[in-house]
A and B are shown apart, each in its own frame.
Chain A
Amino acid sequence: MRKKPPPSPAPAPAARAAARAVPEWLNSPLWSASTPSAAPDPYGADLSPPPPPPPKPPPPPSYEQAVGSSRRVEEEEDEEEAGGGAALRAHLLADFKLALSKKLVNMGELRRLACLGVPDGGAGVRPLVWKLLLGYLPTERAFWPHELEKKRSQYSAYKDEFLLNPSEKIRRFEELKLLRKKELNTDNIGLLPRSKVTNEEHPLSFGKSSLWNQYFQESEILEQIDRDVKRTHPEMPFFSAKTNQESLRRILIIFSKLNPTIRYVQGMNEVLAPLFYVFKNDPDPSNSASAEADTFFCFVELLSGFKDNYCKHLDNSEVGIRSTLSKLSQLLKRHDEELWRHMEITTKVYPQYYAFRWITLLLTMEFSFNVCIHIWDAILGDPEGPPDTLLRICCAMLILVRRRLLAGDFTANIQLLQHYPSTNIDHLLHIANRLRGSVAS
């Protein structure tokens, strides 16, 4: 990426400046979020001689070429009228449809297309693409109906098992055992018959195995889920609809019961929202009707890569959120040491102040909803997998505003990063792409 000049005994100003210099392509005004200012770069990148061209990282050639070529085409067309852009989108949509119509979907091809982003007007395409990328649907088309059927009925079983309150559960249990042969609906007048309560199965019980006790202990989590669901994207009418809120609630409750180690963590509702939105708005009515079941499994799949970030006990371990944040730090250091030094050492803006939300919420709160869905196309589509891709995008977000960060102090930088400015997403994803290579551990 960037070669350091050989250390000299008495570092001359030029050499020192060269050590802090930044690769040519990073300084191009095309990548900067803010308008290029008239003032010269205070860190002397303009003054030092350009460092030797960095060796390119070795990506799979076909991928890089394909992305590179598309990008170049898009850049040229940026100057032309919007008509050119529309043609490109239509072409991309056709490519998607072609890839999806094959009997055996080529995942490599699909991932390549996904990283370009599903174009607008692809409402029917995106749910299918995401389901394939998350491994919910197998690659052989022929197996789709069977798989969907299996998964959706499994979700129904989960609903029955986890969503009943103790009254209903006990009633079902008794009905199953036909205990109440003696019809309660008797018109007999007289003292009502009493039956013994077994296993401490009464509402005030503190017994470990009591359904009631478990119910009341979980009620706190249920309340938290309830509150968060009601607060999800209040500006969007889609999420104010009671039925949709109920669906989100059910998915989160079942997830929390199936995953006792992480239960429910605030913010999972935000990660769930785009998935559900995309699947529910599938133009195919049968898919839309089963959106809840599909979303559940895709949510599980998506979170599986990030699970360790949510587990409190793993916070300080090698796999928890702190370690992820330090990976981000290392990534920044590898690709832009100057910025890293300024952030971590000079202004002490550590990743936990801004990147915590970026990572645990998968960037859903940093960009507008539609932009976020576009970024998720890339996160889900990238062959490196969502966790690594997310880190690269976070790093790219920092690099994109490097000029402002370098000029800012602690307060200004925190302000900037916690309210990330809207940017050109294609540029952002392009930079993230250029940071490819193994994520430093």
Chain B
Amino acid sequence: MVLVLALGDLHVPHRASDLPAKFKSMLVPGKIQHIICTGNLCIKEVHDYLKSLCPDLHITRGEYDEDARYPETKTLTIGQFKLGLCHGHQVVPWGDLDSLAMLQRQLDVDILVTGHTHQFKAYKHEGGVVINPGSATGAYSSVTYDVNPSFVLMDIDGLRVVVYVYELIDGEVKVDKIDFKKTATMHA
């Protein structure tokens, strides 16, 4: 039972001042084992805050990140799953699922986590699953102002992943969950 927090596109301080209070009250240290962040934090303070939640932090570079040392893509293995991380502004057209599927095949991962569109998505194709945790602060994107703050918490348990989606809609936190299992065919 490994808990992995996936979030990104916070755009602090340029487009948002902080995470919503309701999200912050839920995110306490000690519960989460890994954090994967799609990028666009943008400043060190956010990095430090995430580090305080969990020491195992993985970040990829978004186009507005001030720290230039984050990698463009990252892969890691958690339990039985290989996860890939990329901000997503590099993949054109932005948010296009076929292009993201290509990236996924390139990185050779079961789950690809990308951002940039500030819209939550969880999509399955033959190569695996693509998850977009959206924007954790609800910052406006290059495409739209209508953004609900959201992030994702994955519970990886053996060959099964339960994805909990946390969204702030009209001031209330709504939680949904998505179940999927890794099969032998998912990986050529």
Q: Do A and B come from one complex?
A: yes
**Interface size grouping (class) on chain B:** 20 to 34
Cβ proximity bits A183-212 to B, threshold 8 Å, 1 near / 0 not: 011011111111111001011101000000
The answer to whether B153 has its CB under 8 Å from any CB of chain A is yes
Taken together as a complex, chains A and B put the C-alpha atoms of A197 and B129 apart, in Å, by 21
Please tell me if the beta carbons of B126 and A192 are within 8 angstroms of each other in the complex. Answer: no
Which of B164, B175, B176, B183 has most chain A Cβ within 10 Å?
Answer: B175
- For B28, what are the chain A residues with a Cβ–Cβ distance below 8 Å? 204
B164-A194 in contact (CB<8A): no
Task: Tell whether, in the assembled complex, residue A168 and residue B153 are in contact, meaning their CB atoms are under 8 Å apart.
Answer: no
Is the CB–CB distance between A195 and B177 below 8 Å? yes
Chain A residue nearest to B162 (CB atoms) is A167
A residues in contact with B3, CB < 8 Å: 203
Residues of B within 8 A of A191 (CB): 121-124
Enumerate chain A residues within 8 angstroms of B18, measured Cβ to Cβ.
none
In this complex, which of B126, B155, B163 has the most chain A Cβ atoms within 10 angstroms of its Cβ?
A: B155
How many A-B pairs with Cβ below 8 Å?
75
Least Cβ–Cβ distance between A338 and chain B, in angstroms:
56
Whether A202 touches B123, Cβ cut-off 8 Å, given contacts A165-B1, A167-B157, is no
Asked if A3 is at the interface (CB within 8 A of a chain B CB), the reply is no
Any A CB within 8 A of the CB of B165 = yes
Looking at the assembled complex, report how far the CB atom of A305 sits from the nearest CB atom of chain B, in whole angstroms. 37
Chain B residues positioned under 8 Å from A189 (CB to CB) = 124-126
Measured CB to CB, the closest approach of chain A to B20, in angstroms, equals: 13
Question: Of A180, A194, A203, A216, which contacts B155 at CB under 8 A?
Answer: A203
Q: Is the CB of B183 within 8 A of A185?
A: yes
Within 8 A of B (CB), among A140-186: 165-168, 170-171, 180, 184-185
Contact of B153 among A185, A193, A200, A203 (CB under 8 A): A203
Choice from B121, B122, B153, B160 contacting A204 with Cβ under 8 Å? B153
Contacts of B123 in A (CB 8 A): 190-192
Measured CB to CB, the closest approach of chain A to B8, in angstroms, equals: 17
Q: Is B48 an interface residue (CB 8 A)?
A: no
Check if B77 is an interface residue, CB within 8 A of chain A: no
A197 with B157: CB separation less than 8 A? no
C-alpha spacing A163/B110, complex, angstroms:
29
> Contact residue range for chain A?
20 to 34
B177 touches A166 (CB 8 A): no
Contact, CB under 8 Å: A171 / B177: no
Instruction: Decide if B126 touches A202 in the complex (CB within 8 Å).
Output: no
The residue in A166, A203, A219 that gathers the most chain B C-beta atoms within 10 A of its C-beta is A203
In the complex the two chains form, what is the Cα distance from A189 to B130 in whole Å? Answer: 11
Contact of B143 with A by CB under 8 A: no
Kindly state whether residue B179 has any CB partner on chain A within 8 Å.
yes
Q: Report yes or no: B177 in contact with A194, Cβ–Cβ below 8 A.
A: yes
Task: Mark B88-123 against chain A: 1 for CB-CB distance below 8 A, else 0.
Answer: 000000000000000000000000000000000111
Known interface pairs A189-B124, A203-B3, A216-B31; A194-B157 also in contact (CB < 8 Å): no
Q: Is A171's CB under 8 angstroms from B122's CB? A: no
**B175 to nearest A CB, angstroms?**
4
- Chain A 357-369, CB-CB to B under 8 Å as 1, else 0, gives 0000000000000
Q: Tell me if A194 and B165 are in contact (CB < 8 A).
A: yes
Bound form: Cα–Cα A165–B33 in Å: 15
- Nearest Cβ on chain A to B6's Cβ, whole angstroms: 13
- Minimum CB–CB distance for A219 against chain B, Å: 8
Q: Which of A245-297 contact B (CB under 8 A)?
A: none
Q: How far is the CA of A63 from the CA of B48 in the complex (A)?
A: 72
Contact A184 B124 (CB under 8 A): no
CB pair A202 B177 closer than 8 Å: yes
Interface pairs A-B: 8 shortest CB-CB: A197-B175, A204-B26, A167-B1, A194-B176, A167-B157, A192-B122, A165-B1, A202-B175
Residues of A participating in the B interface, judged by any CB pair closer than 8 Å: 165-168, 170-171, 180, 184-185, 187-197, 200, 202-204, 206, 216, 219
17 contacts between A and B (CB under 8 A): A166-B1, A167-B157, A168-B1, A168-B157, A171-B157, A171-B160, A188-B124, A189-B124, A189-B126, A191-B122, A192-B123, A194-B178, A195-B176, A195-B177, A203-B155, A204-B26, A204-B164
A-B contacts besides A196-B175, A204-B166, 13 pairs, CB < 8 Å: A167-B1, A189-B125, A192-B122, A192-B163, A192-B180, A194-B178, A195-B177, A196-B177, A197-B177, A202-B175, A203-B31, A203-B164, A204-B26
